[in-house]
């Protein structure tokens, strides 16, 4: 959750950090009351898009009489494709120096980072790699230590008399980040006043959505005025929705499949008008709301529903869809593509409706072709991998992977699991835990026990329940634990399993706070524990066992190891491989979150010398550097097996999270660099889903 400067300053002020007083100026406030503070003043556009200062969104006003005219100019200033919904007015603060200070989670550095610079107010990114910018890693448990404070203080060259107020400022900043689950608290500039005070002249604050979900009171810092009307309505129905500039409305289940569908549309010149992931539940109310959202957009010429049924049945979605439509045909053409669980039944149900403008496609290619008949395609986008020399790996990525490759510990193998392996289910008495425990058992998994604190002594259809993992392990041989514990306790559940000696853990839970997972990663470092997730569908060894929520239908035993960041794309890709007669040795999800357990590199290393695996398939997404790190490992270690990769979200807009925080394109051009790094490593890049089976068949023939 990104906060405006106005909200960010309110949060910092609540933490005891001094900020200038400020008031909101709304459109039409020409006759506003005189400011409650003397001038001169600063009038600032409130927006979440960057670069407002360079674009003229911050102006100095010397006299109160000039505020109305300056405000009128700013309200007509387009920033990020929209004019500002409101402004902040505050007094100018006399100061001797302007510094830079931030505390936040660094995805690149894999931890909490304190950053300072003696120059603030400008483009701090221009100081990257410059000695003037000091970035300090904050080790777990992520608290302020005297040595960290001293290093920052001496780097800034502040006089000794400011040590006490500077230390107090850092203590308050650390407390705010901890208390409110902040991913970033940036003060730029941080003013040093003539009387020795530190004042935050600007604030860029981001809260972890997972923490906000656990603590709804933090939503008071959000500002719905910065969302489109469609995004506000979608949030009310729990739909992951992002407005895009295209003409085809899109509904899909799962962020990975939705992104891959966006790419398929863009490649055919049918850019999506939105990203909409309805997730793992669908009812008539939510589907009706979704279609209302799409068709309220006059740009939408047609709509595509793309679903791969896993736990959620396509037949159930079809029934909800039919109820949402009633007897009326959709107002604009709708193409539906079902695959997986209940696909045939769902497709037949929709065909029997006989509604004009509703068509059912057999596969994605046919769905796109049908849309091309009702929406005039524009120029398609080329998503083939750029030349290898275009690789723009994130700073340090190749070096990190190289160092990791030389010191990687062999993790417990997924490929040693079979129907005799003991499976433990943490959170087994919950609705999801009990349902999936029984589904795993039905597939052939040996579910030996479950754990729910204070429920020990009970059973779930013959599966004994214990109060702790230690108690379960004392009575049963446990080879893998599957975690369905709610997000607030999931990290602790992971550590409980590891401390009890469980060597393989799959955390299905999504919405785990990022700092919780950073603490888990630190605790598990150097231990012989294989962690998948969180936010993973788990793992499946076709024909042998299942540990998680993967539906068995798409899978076929064979020689390909499939490692993925997306659940629905795992099912989609494996279905295509299986249809081509290419089976899988195992499929494992690493999870879609920014920080998790085993990554692509660790899993590739795990199967490096395993004769049961002849080739590897990586299913990636925009955001992060898991794909770049794997590419560096493959290249630098002369990986002995052929590797193919498909990356979803190539058409994603920069700076927008699509479904989960991990699927975030941080900067323009980042996807091209990711594909180029894969290509440079000799990894076969699949430009679209339709290429997956053919590319893998070619690799196996040449292996």
In order of 406, 536, 539, 541, the CA distances from 443 in angstroms are: 38, 19, 13, 10
Q: Which token pair is 508?
A: 């299905």
d(CA 503, CA 372): 50
Give the residues across from 89 on adjacent strands. 23, 43
Judge contact between 494 and 507, C-beta under 8 A: yes
Contact 198/163 with Cβ under 8 angstroms? no
- Rounded Cα gap, residues 538 and 547, in angstroms: 6
Give the orientation angle of helix 397-407 with respect to helix 626-636, to 10 degrees. 60
Least Cα distance to 116 among 42, 175, 45, 198 occurs for 198
- Compute and round to an integer the Cα radius of gyration of the chain: 27
Query: Which residues, at least 6 apart from 248, have a Cβ–Cβ distance to it below 8 Å?
Result: 265, 270, 271, 272, 273, 300, 301, 302, 303, 304, 371, 375
Angle between helices 692-702 and 567-579 (to 10 degrees): 60
Backbone angles phi, psi at 291, to 5 degrees: -70, -35
Name the DSSP letter for residue 486: -
Q: How far apart are CA 446 and CA 231, in angstroms?
A: 44
Helix axes 514-524, 487-499, angle to 10 degrees: 0
The answer to whether the peptide bond before residue 597 is cis (omega within 30 degrees of 0) is no
How far is the C-alpha of 428 from the C-alpha of 433, rounded, in Å?
4
CA–CA separation, 296 and 335 (whole Å): 18
Distances (CA, A) of 143 to 133, 366, 686: 21, 55, 44
State both tokens at 485.
């514990």
Strands 480-483 and 463-466: unpaired
* Phi and psi angles of residue 126, each rounded to the nearest 5 degrees, phi first: -70, -15
Separation between Cα atoms, residue 344 and residue 65, nearest integer Å: 70
Two tokens, residue 645: 């990769």
SS3 assignment for 165-182: HHHHHHHHHHHHHHHCCE
Please identify every residue annotated as catalytic: 660
What are the Cα distances from residue 565, in Å, to 216, 510, 617, 626? 28, 13, 12, 9
Instruction: Give dist(CA 558, CA 415) in Å, integer.
Output: 12
The answer to whether the CB of 351 falls within 8 A of the CB of 376 is no
């Amino acid at each position: 959750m990104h906060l405006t400067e106005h909200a960010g300053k309110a949060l910092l002020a609540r933490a005891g950090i001094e900020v200038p007083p400020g008031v909101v100026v709304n459109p039409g406030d020409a006759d506003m009351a005189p400011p409650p503070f003397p001038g001169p003043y600063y009038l600032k556009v409130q927006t979440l898009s960057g670069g407002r200062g360079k674009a003229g969104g911050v102006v100095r006003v010397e006299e109160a009489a000039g505020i109305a005219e300056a405000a009128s100019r700013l309200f007509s200033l387009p920033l990020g494709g929209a004019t500002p919904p409101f402004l902040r007015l505050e007094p100018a603060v006399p100061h001797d120096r302007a510094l830079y200070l931030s505390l936040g989670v660094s995805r690149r550095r894999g931890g909490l980072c304190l950053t300072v610079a003696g120059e603030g107010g400008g483009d701090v990114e221009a100081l990257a790699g410059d000695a003037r910018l000091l970035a300090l890693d904050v080790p777990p448990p992520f608290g302020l230590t005297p040595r960290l404070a001293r290093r920052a203080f001496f780097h800034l060259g502040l006089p000794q008399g400011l040590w006490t107020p500077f230390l107090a400022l850092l203590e308050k900043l650390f407390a705010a980040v901890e208390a409110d689950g902040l991913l970033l608290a940036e003060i730029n500039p941080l003013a040093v006043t003539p009387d020795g005070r530190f004042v935050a002249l600007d604030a860029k604050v981001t809260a972890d959505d997972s923490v906000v979900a656990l603590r709804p009171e933090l939503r008071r810092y959000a500002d719905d005025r910065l969302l489109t009307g469609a995004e506000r309505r979608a949030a009310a129905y729990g739909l992951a929705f992002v407005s895009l500039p295209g003409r085809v409305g899109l509904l899909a289940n799962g962020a990975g499949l939705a992104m891959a569908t966006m790419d398929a549309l863009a490649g055919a010149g049918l850019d999506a008008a939105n990203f909409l992931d309805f997730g793992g539940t669908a009812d008539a109310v939510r589907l009706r709301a979704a279609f209302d959202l799409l068709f309220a957009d006059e740009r939408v010429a047609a709509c595509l529903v793309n679903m791969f049924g896993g736990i959620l049945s396509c037949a159930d979605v079809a029934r909800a869809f039919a109820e949402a439509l009633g007897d009326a045909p959709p107002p604009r053409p709708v193409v539906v593509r079902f695959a997986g669980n209940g696909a045939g039944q769902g497709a037949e149900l929709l065909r029997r409706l006989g509604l004009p403008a509703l068509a059912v496609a057999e596969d994605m290619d046919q769905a796109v072709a049908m849309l091309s008949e009702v929406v005039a395609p524009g120029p398609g986008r080329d998503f083939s991998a750029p030349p290898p020399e275009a690789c723009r790996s994130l700073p340090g990525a190749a070096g990190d992977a190289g160092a990791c490759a030389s010191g990687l510990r062999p993790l417990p193998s997924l490929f040693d699991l079979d129907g005799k392996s003991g499976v433990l289910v943490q959170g087994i008495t919950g609705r999801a835990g009990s349902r999936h425990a029984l589904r795993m058992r039905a597939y052939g998994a040996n579910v030996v026990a479950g754990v729910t604190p204070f429920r020990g002594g009970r059973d779930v259809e013959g599966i004994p329940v214990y109060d702790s993992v230690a108690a379960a392990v004392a009575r049963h041989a446990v080879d893998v634990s599957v975690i369905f514990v709610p997000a607030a306790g999931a990290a602790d559940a992971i550590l409980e399993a590891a401390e009890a000696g469980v060597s393989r853990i799959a955390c299905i839970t999504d919405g785990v706070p990022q700092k919780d997972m950073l603490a888990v990663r630190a605790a598990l470092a150097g231990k012989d524990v294989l962690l998948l997730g969180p936010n993973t569908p788990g793992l499946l060894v076709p024909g042998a066992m299942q540990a998680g929520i993967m539906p068995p239908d798409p899978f076929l035993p064979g020689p390909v190891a499939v490692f993925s960041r997306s659940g629905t794309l795992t099912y989609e890709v494996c279905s295509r491989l299986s249809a081509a007669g290419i089976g899988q040795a195992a499929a494992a999800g690493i999870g879609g979150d920014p920080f998790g357990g085993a990554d692509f590199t660790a899993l590739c290393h795990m199967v490096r010398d395993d004769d049961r695996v002849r080739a590897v398939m990586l299913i990636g997404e925009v955001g992060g550097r898991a794909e770049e790190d794997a590419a560096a490992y493959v290249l630098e270690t002369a990986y002995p097996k052929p590797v193919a990769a498909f990356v979803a979200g190539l058409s994603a807009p920069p700076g927008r999270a699509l479904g989960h925080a991990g699927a975030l394109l941080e900067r323009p051009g980042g996807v091209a660099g990711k594909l180029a790094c894969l290509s440079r490593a000799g990894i076969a890049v699949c430009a679209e889903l339709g290429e997956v089976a053919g590319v893998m068949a070619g690799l196996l023939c040449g292996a």
